[in-house]
Chain A
Amino acid sequence: MWSFSEIANMIHTWLNDTFSPTLVTIIEMVIMGVLVISLFAVLGLILVIMERKVSAWMQIRLGPNRVGPKGIFQSAADTLKLLMKEAMTPNGADKFLFNFAPYLAIIVAMLLMAPIVFAKDFTMWDLNIGVLYVSAVSSLSVISILMAGWASNNKYSLLGAMRSGAQIVSYELSAGLAILTVVVLTGTLNLNEIILSQQNGWWIFKGHIPIIISFLIFIIAVTAETNRAPFDLAEAESELTAGFHTEYSGMKFALFFLAEYVNVFIVCAIGATLFLGGWMPFHIGNWEGFNHIMDYIPSSLWFFGKTFFLIFLIMWFRWTFPRLRIDQLLNLEWKYLLPISMVNLLIVTAMAILGWHF
C-alpha cells in the first residue's frame, strides 16, 4: 500500500542517486518549503470553509453555497478578494512594526509545522526535543499580536493586544503542564516516540483519569492560546470592534486570519499526537479481526481524522459559548486550571514511578 513515508523515501533515494549530497539537501529544503506553504494555504482554505459550514449548521443556516458545488470554493474566492484589496497603513502607525507583525504571526505558525508527525514515519524534522520546540515556538505568537496592537496606534488595538498578552502568557502554563503529563509517562520529548509509545492504546485510555483531566485542560488552554471563542478577548468584536487587528486590511489582515486557523490546526495536531495516538489506529485489546481492519486505514487518515475531530470540538466551543471577561479569564487560569494541572502532574508522576498505567 502506498504511504507518505514510502513516497518520501523514494524521492529521497532517487535524488541521492542523481545529484551530489549538497544539492540534494538544497532541493529537499526547497521541496519542504513549497510543501509547507501549500499545506498552509490549503489548510487555511479548508478550515475557513469548515468553520463557516459548522457555524451555519449550528445556526440553522446553509452557509456559503454559491461559489462551486456547495460553496466549497467560497474561501478561495474570499482569499482572492483579500489579495486584491489595498492593504492600508494608518498615518500614525509605526510603519515597520505594523507591516512586520502579520508576517511574524505567519512565520511562527510555519515554524510550528516542522516537528508534527503527519503519518507513519512522515515528518519534516524528526526532532528529539519536539515537545519543547513546540511549546517554545508557540509562545512567540504573542509577540506578533503585541506588535500589531502597539504599532497600530489605536486604543482598541492596544487594549486587545494587552488582553492577548496576559491571556497567552498565562494559558501557556497550563498547556505546558498538561503536555508534561504525557512526557512524564513516555519519558521522551520526541513526538515520534510519543506516538510509538501508544501502540498498545492511546494515552487518553491508558492514562486513567489524570490524563483525561490533562486532556481537558489542554483543550481549554489551547483554545485560549489560539484566541478562539470563548477566549477571543483579543478580538472581542462587540467590545473592541476587532481588537489587535482593527487597523489591518486586505492581505495583512488575511495573514492574521490564516495564522489563527493554522495555529488551531497545529495545537489540535499536537493534542491528537499526545493524547489520541497521532497516526496510531484504534485498537481494542484482543479483537484481532477488528484491529486488523483498523490497521488497513492509512495512518495519515487517522492523524487528520483525529486532528479534525479536535478542530471541530474547538469550533463547537466557539459557536455555543459567550465570551468570558478578562478578569474571569485570568481567574480561571490562575485559580483553577494551574493548581489543578500542577496536582495532576504530581499524580501522573507518581503513576509513572509506580507503574500504575497500562
Chain B
Amino acid sequence: MIETVGSTADGDLIINIGPQHPATHGVLHLVVTLHGETIKKVEPHLGYIHRSIEKMCESLTYRQYIYVTSRMDYLSSHINNHACSLIVEKGLQIEVPPRAQVIRVLMDELTRIASHELWWGAMAMDLGAFTPFFHAFREREVINDIMEETCGARLTMNYLLPGGVLDDIHPNFQRKVKDFIKLFKSKIDEYDEMVTGNIIFQSRMKDVGYISAADAISFGCSGPTLRGSGVSCDVRKIYPYEIYDKLDFEEVLESGGDSFARYMVRIREMKQSIRIIEQLIDNIPEGEFQAKTKAVLKLPKGEFYQRVETARGEFGIYIVSEGGTTPYRIKFRSPGFSNLSALDHMARGGKIGDLVAMMGTLDLVIPDIDR
C-alpha cells in the first residue's frame, strides 16, 4: 500500500493528483512526492475505471466483442475496432473488398486527426492556455459531423464488422472530407502561430520530460511517445495492414526525446494523415463494402495476434481460441498503459508544472489504461 496522506519522513509533501483533478482528464490517480515544487516520485494508481473489458470480451462472440473495444481508447475507437476486425479476418482468412479497405483506412486517419486535435487543445489547456481548446474543437467538430453522417455516431462509431464495414459511405462523404481538408490546411498554420511558436510554450516544453530512446523502449512506449525519442515504431510502416503498404506517407520521427519532440510528432502526424486522406478520397474503388461471411464466426484453435497503430501508439490484441464462438482468452496491449509507466522516469527532478505538461504530451486516455 502506498502512503497517500501527510508527508514522508524526510519532510517531503505527498500530494494526490486525482482521481478528481483537472489535469488528469479522467480518473487517474497520481501519488506525487514533492520536495518543495520539485518532483521526487510519481506513482500512478490505477483501477478507478476498470470495467474488465477483457473478461467481458471472452463471453461475447467475434462479431460482438468488437464494439466493446470502442470504450477503451474512446478517441481512437475506430482504430481499436479495426484491430478487432483484422484479427478475426486473419483467423478466418476473410478477403475484405477493396472498397471496404479504403473506407476503413480513411476512417482510421480521420479518427487519428480528430484524436490529435483534441489532444492539442487539451494539452494547451494543461499549460494554462484556454483558447486553443476551442480552436481545435472547431475543426474536430467537422470530423465528428462527417462520422455522424456515415456511421451514425460521433465518438464510438462501431462502424466495422469482420469482413468490411457496416454500411456504405454517405453520398456527401467525399465532398465533406474534401472540404475538411481545405479547412484543416488553412487552420494548421494558425495552430503553429498560436501555440507552437509561442515563446512561453516553447520554454515550457523544450528540455522537459526527457526520455532517451533506450529508456523509452524499455518502458514499452510506443506511438508518438517513442517516435519523439527517435525510434521508428510506426506499425503502419513496419507491419503494414490493410492498404498502408501501398500508400505514400512518412513516418514522423523527432530526435529530441523531450515534451516538445512529442508535441511536434503529433502535429506533423496530423499533416501526414491529411496526406493519406488526400491520396484515397478520390480513389475509393467501386464494389462491395462487405465480404460475405458465415452467420456464425468461429476462430480456429490457436493463438492470434494483431497490432495496429492508434493515435496513441501500438494497440495489440492477443486471442487464444479453442475453436468456439467466443475467445478462450483475450488480452489487449493498450498504448496508454505502457506510456504512463514512463511518466515517473520523465518527471523525477522536474517541477509540478512540468508533470502536467508531460502528462499532456503522453496523451493519456484513462479508459485505455484501465481496461
Contact = CB atoms under 8 A, between A and B. Distances in A.
Given A156-B15, A320-B129, A328-B203, A239 B124 contact: no
B353 A325 contact: yes
B48 to A, nearest CB: 17
Contacts of A327: 37, 351
Contacts of B201: 322
B129 A322 contact: yes
Given A238-B356, A239-B23, A239-B356, A325 B351 contact: yes
Interface string A226-245: 00011011001111110000
A155 B4 CA distance: 12
Q: Sort chain A's interface into a size bin.
A: 20 to 34
Contact of B22 (A241, A320, A321): A241
A236 B353 contact: yes
Nearest to B125: A238
B37 A230 contact: no
B194 A325 contact: no
Interface string A123-165: 0000000000000000000000000000000011001000100
A241 B34 CA distance: 16
Contact of B204 (A60, A240, A320, A325): A325
B126 A238 contact: yes
B130 interface: yes
A119 B89 CA distance: 79
A85 interface: no
A324 B201 CA distance: 8
A5 interface: no
B343 to A, nearest CB: 15
A63 B31 CA distance: 37
A336 to B, nearest CB: 12
Contacts of A236: 128, 353
B239 interface: no
A155 B13 CA distance: 8
Contacts of B345: none
A60 B128 contact: no
B195 interface: yes
A320 B134 CA distance: 12
Nearest to A56: B134
Interface string A259-285: 000000000000000000000000000
B29 to A, nearest CB: 14
A240 B22 CA distance: 9
Contacts of A230: 128, 200
B15 A324 contact: no
A163 B356 CA distance: 17
B130 A319 contact: yes
Contacts of B134: 59-61
A320 B353 contact: no
Interface in B118-157: 124-131, 133-135, 138
B125 A320 contact: no
B117 interface: no
A212 B195 CA distance: 27
Contacts of B37: 159, 163, 326-327
Interface string A80-105: 00000000000000000000000000
A319 B129 CA distance: 7
A319 B201 CA distance: 14
Q: Sort chain B's interface into a size bin.
A: 20 to 34
B178 interface: no
A304 B127 CA distance: 33
B291 interface: no
Interface string B11-37: 001010000011100000000001001
A55 interface: yes
Contacts of B203: 324-325, 328
A323 B130 contact: no
B198 interface: yes
B128 A323 contact: yes
B352 interface: yes
Nearest to B138: A60
B109 to A, nearest CB: 25
B15 A155 contact: yes
A31 interface: no
A60 B135 contact: yes
Given A232-B128, A322-B200, A239 B352 contact: yes
A236 B357 CA distance: 13
Given A60-B138, A61-B134, A159-B352, A322 B198 contact: yes
A107 interface: no
A58 B351 contact: no
Given A60-B135, A159-B37, A238-B356, A321 B129 contact: yes
A240 B185 CA distance: 36
A321 B130 contact: no
B130 A59 contact: yes
A325 B354 contact: yes
Contacts of B353: 233, 236, 239, 323, 325-326
A239 B357 CA distance: 9
Contacts of A320: 129, 131, 194
Interface in A189-209: none
Contacts of B354: 325
B131 A238 contact: no
Contacts of B126: 238
A241 B21 contact: yes
Interface in A303-358: 319-328
Interface in B162-217: 194-195, 198, 200-201, 203-204
A233 B198 CA distance: 18
B356 A326 contact: no
A111 B183 CA distance: 52
A59 B131 contact: yes
A326 to B, nearest CB: 6
Contacts of A233: 353
A293 to B, nearest CB: 38
Contact of B195 (A322, A325, A326, A328): A322
Interface of A: 55, 58-61, 155-156, 159, 163, 229-230, 232-233, 236-241, 319-328
12 contacts: A159-B34, A159-B352, A233-B353, A238-B127, A241-B21, A320-B129, A322-B198, A323-B128, A324-B204, A325-B204, A326-B37, A326-B353
